[in-house]
Structure 1
Amino acid sequence: MAAAQTPTLRQKRLGAELRKLRERSGLSSTAAAAEIGVPQARISMIEGGRYRVSAERVRTMARIYACDDPELVAALAGLTGGRSHGWWEEYRELLPAVLVDVAELEHHATAMRVAVVVTMPGLVQTLGHARGAFSQSVPRLLPHEVEHRASFRVKRQAVLHRSPRVPFTAIVHEAALRMGFGGLDVTREQLRFLIEASELENVKILVVPFGLGDYPASGQPISYVSGPVPELDTVILDSDHGCTFLDAAAQVSRYRSILDRMESCALTPRKSRDFIRRVAKET
């Protein structure tokens, strides 16, 4: 095991889940440390994601914590190993850590579902749309910062084309189709790109047209990232202040229900594709 100076979201999640298992078992951190044979401070560091553990140590801790769910234990063991050294790591010095953590989370997802009202979902944005959106940031980003963020956003789209294919559902409000980030040419290109993305076998684009008074949306982009087991599902809320990650069972369940309601308001995939084509002709 080795100390982790700056834990990633993945490392923090492993620590949080181990803490949940310990607390459910009724063991204090001191008692757990004695059972495992490590200093009490080590338990705190592990649970804070600041100390890397091996898959075998995770299995040992799960056994001591009386976790009898083999799928959960296997999933937690899969979170070990420190940074996964994926392509996103090259952006650690260029972008806020939360943005890089999003890419790592997406890389390990088993399914994804998003809902947007104003901007396009990040995984189906063109470079021009991303540039247009980031150019409106407050405070304004410098040109090179806009380029870093836009190129990073587009690079994340590789997750939709990997094998095995990851199911991706995007619930897009009509407002997002008509916002016009970057100007008319960019908007037309973005709409064409969205239609092409909707034709991928693992991608489902669902449009919510204007006129639905009971649409349960606050305007905040919502992403639901499914893990290898339901206990490791994560909700990402995007705002002007950055990304917020939610993983408490009650919070995850609430947003799953919200997305279910949003999806029930949307047009079918075929009707959504036709709707996007109609908007493109009007643009």
Structure 2
Amino acid sequence: MARRKQPTARQERLGSELRKLRETAGLKGREAAALLGTDSAQLSQIEFGTAGVSEERVRRLVAHYACTDTELIEALVAMATDRTRGWWEEYRGHLPTSFLDLSELEHHASYRWDVDFLHVPGLLQTEVYARALFSYMNPFPEIEMERWVEHRMKRKVIIERPNPIPYETVIHEGALRIRVGDRAAARAQLARILELSEAGHITVRVIPFDLDRFAGAGSAMVYAGGPVAKLDTVVRDGPHGTIFVDAEAQLDRFRTLFRKVEAVSLEPERSRDFIHRLAKEL
């Protein structure tokens, strides 16, 4: 297969999972390459996601690595054989690669959790809110602005399609009170959150300012469930860009962190009442 110049986060993840299995099996790269009848350079390309790998080669590798986790194996095979060119591909070259990687991650996710402290989570944002947010953070020409906003609106497909994924979000009161746009935009945004919160697959919880002994979660967090727990992913925005976290120990920590934040937040019904009161104040 031709070498990829810029692999997607999903392609890199497949390679990293194969590398983890090899290292767990105690095999060096050249040993694993020999089992495939290739060289260390090609195996390295597979493990970095810069080269594709066939179903037959994935199955041969995991067999040599003595992996017996059937669900994980089938999930890796699905990643290797997936040729989906999703809707996000039309934005390649126009939007940051991390945006497209997130869209692909969401497309394949089995569920999604969000924690946000400063902004309404992207999947709940109205078009007016998203435009105001992007205008403030990244002032650029109108045509670029429209692409950013359009892309964000299209991402909602995962919770609006006929077979939506379960979605849970915890939003701090601060994010609900900050007026990214004007008063009318803020009111419409709260109304949109209330509307979505009525859906059976969507759970919205609020953390009020007056909560005792709450130290936060550090920063906003997106947690995307994979086909198996080992393929879950955490997405965090940092000062140097977007980071996709997949180390097992870190995933465990973020699962625990989400449940701690969820546990101290208001129940869904009380959260809706809380948002109703905020809307009436506007």
Give the TM interval when normalised to the shorter protein. Answer: over 0.9
Runs of 4+ in 1 over 6 A off after TM superposition: none
Which residue in 1 is equivalent to 2:97?
97
Kindly indicate whether residue 77 of structure 2 is the aligned counterpart of residue 77 of structure 1. yes
Superposed CA offset, 1:241-283 (max 9, x none): 4311100011111111111111011111111111111101101
8 Å CA contact retained: 1:224, 1:236: yes
Partner SS for 2:32 = helix
Residue of structure 1 equivalent to 2:148: 149
Unpaired segments of 5 or more residues in structure 1? none
* C-alpha deviation, 1:147, in angstroms: 2.1
Aligned length, in residue pairs: 282
Residue equivalent to 2:109: 109
Aligned CA RMSD, in angstroms, stands at: 1.4
Equivalence for 1:192: 191
CA–CA distance in structure 2, aligned partners of residues 241 and 207 of structure 1: 29
Please say if residues 11 and 82 of structure 1, whose CA atoms lie closer than 8 Å, have aligned partners that are also in contact: no
Deviation by residue 1:76-131 (Cα, 9 ceiling, x = unmatched): 11111365200001111110101110010000000110000110011110011111
Q: 1:239 to 1:187 in 2, by over 3 A?
A: farther
State the partner residue of 2:21: 21
Equivalence for 1:7: 7
Counterpart AA for 2:12: K
Distance in 1 between residues matched to 2:48 and 2:121, nearest whole Å:
31
1:231 aligns with 2:225: no
Determine helix, strand or coil for the equivalent of 1:170: strand
Q: Could you tell me which residue of structure 2 aligns to residue 44 of structure 1?
A: 44
- Give the SS at the match of 2:280: helix
Deviations 1:19-50 (A, max 9, x none): 00001111111011111111211100000000
* Structure-1 residue corresponding to 2:128: 128
In the alignment, is the contact (CA less than 8 A) between 1:114 and 1:170 conserved in 2?
yes
The amino acid of 2:65's aligned partner reads Y
State the SS of the aligned residue for 1:207.
Answer: strand
TM-score relative to the length of structure 1: 0.96
Deviation at 1:56, TM superposition (A): 2.2
Q: Which runs of 5+ in 2 are unaligned?
A: none
In 2: Cα distance, 1:249 partner to 1:62 partner: 18
Provide TM-score, normalisation by structure 2: 0.96
Q: Is the 8 A contact 1:172 1:208 kept in 2?
A: yes
Residue equivalent to 1:256: 255
1:162-241 aligned within 5 A: 162-217=161-216, 220-241=219-240
Deviations 1:133-161 (A, max 9, x none): 111215x3333332221211111001102
Any conservation in 2 of the 1:116–1:219 contact (CA below 8 Å)? Answer: no
What SS does structure 2 have at the residue aligned with 1:79? helix
CA contact (8 A) 1:29 1:43 kept: yes
**Which residue of structure 1 lines up, in the alignment, with residue 119 of structure 2?**
119
